[in-house]
Amino acid sequence: MSFALAVSIGNTRTQIGRIVDGVVQEFATVPSDSPTKALEQLVAWSKDVEKEDRIVLLASVRADTAKAMRSLVVDQIGAEIIELEQDLPVPIGRALDSETIVGVDRLLTAAAAWSELKQACIVVDVGTAVTVDFIDGEGIFQGGAIMPGTQAMLASLTDSADLLPSVDYLPPEGEPFGRNTTDAMLRGVHTAIHGGVWKLVENYALFYGGFPLVVATGGDAEAIFTDDELISRIVPDLTLRGCAVAYRTATEDMNS
């Protein structure tokens, strides 16, 4: 039995997972500015695993949190740390501009989606930023689009206009128009992301000549896309599944 822990540090949220035989068995989400909360669960998951068998797969888009997490993992778990894209490449083909650096989270979700679907697909990650990425029928990551996430849009409105209040995102309900300023802001942001994703998916499909499956992930994916006909499935642990794919692929290559 193979065992690994996965840590995916996002701008706002960190996901942690327990991987057994290349499959995510459990996962949890904690705030990215509280690495000690993630550590508590990682310690619990690793307590019955021999120290020499402890491996932590680390993927991060936040250098400060990643540095703190490395230190905590070494001190409290004593595990070998394997950093995705630094020590272990994400197994997904790429058709990008030379010298381009893509966020490891985008590569991991693409690798996970391709590994599970094995057909052209689009990954929508609704987090601090919203990314809409296209993987073609050969499993090549073609790139995509990035727009602000819900809270970033709301914050930009508040910062840009004196009369607009500070608002936390909640999915709007009821009538299609807001009858007060807060509701109007929420409805505008929700619809901007929802409509923007729809348009991007349509553009990708027209360019590709077929309508790919669309997979959504990220902290606000369910709030915006639950029961939406555009989305084939919502997979909250897609980034961690990408970590599992990378580790499983490397293990298989070593054993072949």
Q: Are 61 and 11 in contact (CB under 8 A)?
A: yes
Label the pairing between strands 121-126 and 129-135: antiparallel
Catalytic status, residue 105: yes
Q: What is the DSSP letter of 88?
A: B
Residue 62 CB-density burial (10 A; 0-12 exposed, 13-18 middle, 19+ buried): middle
Contact present, 202 and 208 (Cβ < 8 Å): no
Q: Report residue 196 CA to chain centroid gap.
A: 18
* Beta-strand runs (E) in 21-161: 23-31, 55-60, 80-83, 93-94, 121-126, 129-135, 140-148
Q: Taking Cα atoms as reference points, which of 172, 154, 153, 149 lies closest to residue 221?
A: 149
Q: Does residue 149 contact residue 127 with C-beta atoms inside 8 Å?
A: yes
Of these residues, 105, 125, 220, 237, which one is catalytic? 105
Spatial separation of the C-alpha atoms in residues 105 and 13, rounded to whole Å = 12
Backbone angles phi, psi at 163, to 5 degrees: -90, 0
How many alpha carbons fall within 13 Å on the CB side of residue 103? 21
Catalytically active residues, by annotation = 105
